[in-house]
């Protein structure tokens, strides 16, 4: 039977990975996600796993590449500047069609910035993964429980589509504590994937993992194959949540910590007689375009709330056929309050 345990988002992320069968973790310390490698360093050696602190984020992501090529469940975690350093390795993972889980607990930027919560890595996470046409499948949890659940799911999802999966959190959710329902830890898969390297043991043909394709038509075929997996993932893995009035005048949209702030604002606006609803993407790659398109013609106003200068809003605008979308935002690690969202909403209505 599952049990509920009080834990931080960082610890829940790490425990979710272990419960899913992850036994390999390579990383480099950076605040605000340091409790993930700390927990992994304590737990993995006790259950026959491998924890290794690399000399840099570049080394971490290439160690992930090596473990992923054997078909292992493998994870790394970092925060904004560290994820920037991993971009080349992420592109190599994509080019070699290797699954892995990468956690980004976003902090204020650009540059070294600060260790406060931010959402300014949205483009990095949804358009990133280095050079080439693709990015990571990306989940955006808004609670400690959802960090645990999304991380748990990410390994099977990554292996199903042979794609890296990004868990996009932030400094607030990473370090808040909430009761979290845990699952029984399961063992890693025992059957080696058909594509994984591992020698010619037991008559198995030799396998090669590679992201270098000098034959141009072959490179195009690889890209088309990866694109088809993205399309399949969009059909099967797109997730979102809706909250609030069933007949709203205003549609709020937000993800992560911004969505939690919006829920409180929506409840308080309802007390004033203003009908509002939240559409919260849980996946942002793939993006839940259908519910946005459905609501776009039913509301008077669409308001995007995010902790960046306006990155997430671009996907929202594309999903509502370029209808006007208004922005409420803070940046640089400044955390907005429900009162601020309410005040800005009143201003928008009055304008």
Among 115-124, 200-209, 256-265, 311-320, the minimum mean pLDDT is found in 200-209
Q: What is the CATH number of the domain that holds 20?
A: 3.40.50.970
Final residue of a domain: which of 237, 264, 294? 237
Question: What per-residue confidence (pLDDT) applies to 325?
Answer: 96
Q: Phi and psi of 157, rounded to 5°?
A: -65, -45
Q: Residue 1 pLDDT more than 70?
A: no
Question: What per-residue confidence (pLDDT) applies to 109?
Answer: 93
Question: What per-residue confidence (pLDDT) applies to 328?
Answer: 97
Is residue 275 domain-shared with residue 233, that is, in the same domain?
Answer: no
Is residue 273 domain-shared with residue 210, that is, in the same domain?
Answer: no
Is residue 232 domain-shared with residue 290, that is, in the same domain?
Answer: no
Question: What per-residue confidence (pLDDT) applies to 128?
Answer: 82
Split at pLDDT 50, 70, 90, the class of 130 is confident
Is residue 204 domain-shared with residue 290, that is, in the same domain?
Answer: no
Is residue 183 domain-shared with residue 321, that is, in the same domain?
Answer: no
Count of domains observed in the chain: 2
Per DSSP, helices labelled H in 26-143 are 35-43, 57-68, 80-85, 87-95, 122-126
Is residue 203 domain-shared with residue 245, that is, in the same domain?
Answer: no
Is residue 290 domain-shared with residue 159, that is, in the same domain?
Answer: no
Q: pLDDT, tens digit, for every residue of 5-47?
A: 999 999 999 999 999 999 999 999 999 999 999 999 999 999 9
Q: Please tell me the distance from the alpha carbon of residue 148 to that of residue 17, in angstroms, as a whole number.
A: 8
Strand spans (E) along the chain: 3-8, 24-27, 50-53, 74-78, 101-106, 137-139, 165-170, 177-182, 240-244, 250-253, 276-281, 283-285, 301-306, 326-329
Is residue 182 domain-shared with residue 257, that is, in the same domain?
Answer: no
Is residue 252 domain-shared with residue 198, that is, in the same domain?
Answer: no
Is residue 219 domain-shared with residue 285, that is, in the same domain?
Answer: no
Q: pLDDT, tens digit, for every residue of 325-341?
A: 999 999 999 999 999 99
Is residue 253 domain-shared with residue 214, that is, in the same domain?
Answer: no
| Domain carrying residue 274 | 240-350
Final residue of a domain: which of 237, 271, 289? 237
Cα–Cα–Cα angle for 146, 149, 151, rounded to 5 degrees: 105
Q: pLDDT, tens digit, for every residue of 135-180?
A: 899 999 999 999 999 999 999 999 999 999 999 999 999 999 999 9
Is residue 258 domain-shared with residue 120, that is, in the same domain?
Answer: no
């Amino acid at each position: 039977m599952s049990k509920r345990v009080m834990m931080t988002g960082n610890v829940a992320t790490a425990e979710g990975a272990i419960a899913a069968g992850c036994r390999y973790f390579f990383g480099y310390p950076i605040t605000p996600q340091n409790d993930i490698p700390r927990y992994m360093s304590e737990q993995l050696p006790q259950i026959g796993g491998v924890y290794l602190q690399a000399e840099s984020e570049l080394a971490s992501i290439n160690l992930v590449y090596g473990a992923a090529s054997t078909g292992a469940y493998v994870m790394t975690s970092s925060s904004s500047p560290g994820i920037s350093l991993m971009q080349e390795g992420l592109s190599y993972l994509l080019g070699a069609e290797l699954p892995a889980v990468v956690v980004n607990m976003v902090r204020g930027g650009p540059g070294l910035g600060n260790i406060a919560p931010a959402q300014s890595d949205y483009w990095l996470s949804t358009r990133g993964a280095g050079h080439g046409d693709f990015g990571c499948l990306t989940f955006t949890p808004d609670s400690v429980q959802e960090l645990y659940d999304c991380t748990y799911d990410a390994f099977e999802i990554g292996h199903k589509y042979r794609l890296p999966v990004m868990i996009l959190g932030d400094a607030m959710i990473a370090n808040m504590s909430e009761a979290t329902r845990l699952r029984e830890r399961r063992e890693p898969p025992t059957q080696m994937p058909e594509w994984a390297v591992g020698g010619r043991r037991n008559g198995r043909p030799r396998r090669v993992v590679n992201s270098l394709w000098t034959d141009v038509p072959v490179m195009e075929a690889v890209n088309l194959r990866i694109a088809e997996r993205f399309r399949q993932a969009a059909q099967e893995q797109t997730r979102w949540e809706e909250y609030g009035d069933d007949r709203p005048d205003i549609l709020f949209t937000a993800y992560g910590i911004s969505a939690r702030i919006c829920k409180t604002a929506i409840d308080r606006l309802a007390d004033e007689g203003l009908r509002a609803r939240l559409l919260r993407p849980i996946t942002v790659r793939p993006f839940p375009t259908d519910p946005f398109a459905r609501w776009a013609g039913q509301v008077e106003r669409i308001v995007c709330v995010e902790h960046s200068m306006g990155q997430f809003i671009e996907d929202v605008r594309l999903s509502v056929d370029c209808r006007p979308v208004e922005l409420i935002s803070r940046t640089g690690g400044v955390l907005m309050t429900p009162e601020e969202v309410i005040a800005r909403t009143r201003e928008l209505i009055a304008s």
